[in-house]
Amino acid sequence: MAAEKTELLSGGNPRIAKGEGDAPVQAYIAAMPGWKRDVGHWLDALIVRTVPEVRKAVKWNSPFYGVEGEGWFLSFHCFNAYVKVAFFRGAALEPMPPVSSTGPDTRYLHIHEGDAPDEAQVASWIRQAAAIPGWMA
């Protein structure tokens, strides 16, 4: 039986049903188009290595990562030219992720095709973000 093709929303973001756990996150990553899929695999593996007890879900067509009882600390989302990594309490991270938000707490990292993000820095942001109370949704 052939796999169903996932609908891509604007920016190439996969439409994945809301769900808790690893399976919907892996379905989202598998449906990420082109080079963005490699970014998704890289981010997911780095998050799991950095926060082994991480909680996962797909909400609003984006993977979310959190700590049980402490809220969500990170999500990512496909756009045309980049993958946007959102640190929900990013303003509290040292150094702050580079891209500001309209909200005072959230900071972003944009990963473009061909970028080689500093893995040690991204892991540090993930570790810091997981250690502070996250976004409750």
What pTM does this model have?
Answer: 0.93
Q: What are the structural domain ranges in the chain?
A: 11-130
List the CATH code of the domain at 11-130.
3.90.1150.200
In this predicted structure, the answer to whether residue 1 has a pLDDT above a threshold of 70 is no
Token representation of residue 112: 């473009």
12 to each of 6, 9, 30, 31, 96, how far by Cα in Å? 11, 6, 13, 9, 27
| Percent of the chain whose predicted confidence (pLDDT) is above 90 | 86
Q: What are phi and psi of 32, to 5 degrees?
A: -65, 135
- Using DSSP, state whether 87 is helix, strand or coil: strand
Q: What is the mean pLDDT of residues 16-39?
A: 96
User: Can you tell me the mean pLDDT for 23-40?
Assistant: 97
